A and B are shown apart, each in its own frame.
Chain A
């Protein structure tokens, strides 16, 4: 296995871990009980997926680091998640539209890996894809409700999409660890465009902006997520429940 495979597994794991962490922030704060539970359920799926990917990354790295060492022991610049997932939750429309864009990406990417990849990567992808399908049903459904809902919910959903769209370009920027990334954008748009159109939301014009979280260059927000997530293991290394 090459180091680019390890890098790819880290990206998959960090995407799921950081978005899972963000969704868990809604626990006890959801707009209604059912959504509180839904966010927690989806966060649990994502953190479960993160464990599988990070365990794999640790094995590929061959340095003896396990999932916990990778999740709790790395600094900000060593995280490989895309910037999209680390942005603060904002209001519930922002949380939902972000998930909808990410869930569509997961469905396309995991579907491709489940069929085209081999061994551990294909196995983790096939398992996660089933979960991503449910996540998408939830986020696409709520995007429709917000977009085609009241004037206020539409305004918030459109503002969320305007703020988030620029961060999706990074997902499709190819590099050594993910040379086929660009070819995912077509199938991704086939999912996202009709769903946004039905929700009466307008995709903003593309700009040259390109975030670089997956290369370890993050926004200021990731550090705060890590501070909360890693505190216990930093303060009491190796502490166990």
Chain B
């Protein structure tokens, strides 16, 4: 049977299809129990609609891999933080056109453009296409882009 963590690392965030749910730090714990397997996940934002798709996907994939009983449980504490996003995933976000979050306690004065690398950018809106992102514009290459907000 394939390792459960390996299966879970093949599930991507439905809103950001280049990073996996394990890289994002959404999967907190995987426990083998008598009759199957239990996966503890934590939501990113309270109202993030992606979490339901992620739950269904976890159950589907693990059942396909032969785990009979799959239970997904939600844990709230400690609250999810962008600091848990793996370094490799930050590069993937950047390549995908999303400026990765800085460290939570160091809110960046300037957000670097993921396309051209310029530091001269401006915030268009605190709230972007999804709950986790803000909308920015590069003042050098003039392209708009998303910024993954530190949380």
Measured CA separation A34–B134 after assembly (Å): 10
Size of A's binding interface in residues, CB under 8 A: 28
Answer yes or no: B76 CB below 8 A from chain A CBs.
yes
Q: Is A224 an interface residue (CB 8 A)?
A: no
Contacts of B125 in A (CB 8 A): 34-35, 37-38
Contact partners of B43 in chain A: CB under 8 A: 48, 127
Given known A-B contacts A48-B47, A49-B46, A52-B46, A130 and B79 have beta carbons under 8 A apart: yes
| B135–A123 touching, CB < 8 Å | no
0/1 interface trace, chain B 112-142, chain A, CB 8 Å (1 if under): 0000000000001111111100010000000
Other-chain contact of A123, B77, B124, B126, B128 (Cβ < 8 Å): B77
Contact of A44 with B47 in the complex, beta carbons under 8 Å: yes
Name which residue of chain B comes closest to A51, CB basis. B46
B128–A134 touching, CB < 8 Å: no
B94 in the interface (beta carbon within 8 A): no
Contact A41 B79 (CB under 8 A): no
B151 within 8 A of A: yes
Does A131 lie within 8 Å of B126, measured CB to CB? no
Q: Which of B76, B78, B127 contacts A37 (CB 8 A)?
A: B127
A226 interface hit (Cβ, 8 Å): no
User: Which residue of chain A has the shortest Cβ distance to B104 in the bound complex?
Assistant: A130
Which residues of A lie under 8 Å from residue B80 when comparing CB positions? 127
Q: What distance in Å separates the Cβ of B60 from its nearest Cβ neighbour in chain A? A: 18
**Contact for A44 among B49, B124, B149, CB less than 8 A:** B49
Chain A residue contacts of B79, Cβ below 8 A: 123, 126-127, 130
Q: Which residue of B lies closest to A53 (CB)?
A: B46
Number of interface residues of B (CB under 8 A): 22
The reply to whether B46 and A128 contact each other, CB–CB distance below 8 Å, is yes
Give the secondary structure class of B's interface.
Answer: loop
* Residues of B with C-beta under 8 A to A45: 45-47, 131
Interface centre among B47, B78, B135, B151 (most CB of A within 10 A): B47
Q: A46 an interface residue at 8 Å Cβ cutoff?
A: yes
What per-residue 1/0 map shows which CB atoms of B38-59 lie under 8 Å from chain A?
A: 0000010111110000000000
Chain B residues whose C-beta falls within 8 Å of the C-beta of A137 in the assembled complex: 126
Cβ–Cβ contact B127 & A131, under 8 A: no
B55-80: CB near A (< 8 Å → 1, else 0) gives 00000000000000000000011111
A131 touches B45 (CB 8 A): yes
**Chain B residues whose C-beta falls within 8 Å of the C-beta of A123 in the assembled complex:** 76-77, 79
Task: Select from chain A the residue with minimum beta-carbon distance to B129.
Answer: A37
The answer to whether A126 touches B78, judged by C-beta atoms less than 8 angstroms apart, is yes
Once bound together, how far apart are the Cα atoms of A126 and B135, in whole Å? Answer: 25
The answer to whether A134 touches B77 (Cβ under 8 A) is: no
Contact of B47 among A49, A126, A141 (CB under 8 A): A49
- Distance A138 CA – B149 CA, assembled complex (angstroms): 13
Cβ contact within 8 Å between B126 and A138:
yes
B24 to chain A, nearest CB (A): 16
Cα distance A128–B43 in the bound complex, in angstroms: 11
Of all chain A residues, the one with the shortest Cβ separation from B135 is A34
Q: How far is the CB of B103 from chain A (nearest CB, A)?
A: 14
Min Cβ gap B128→A in Å is 7
**Is the Cβ of A41 less than 8 Å from the Cβ of B76?**
no
Q: List 12 A-B contacts (CB under 8 A).
A: A35-B125, A41-B127, A42-B127, A44-B49, A44-B131, A45-B47, A52-B76, A122-B77, A123-B76, A127-B46, A127-B79, A128-B46
A-B interface, 4 closest residue pairs, ranked by CB to CB distance from nearest: A48-B47, A48-B46, A44-B47, A123-B77
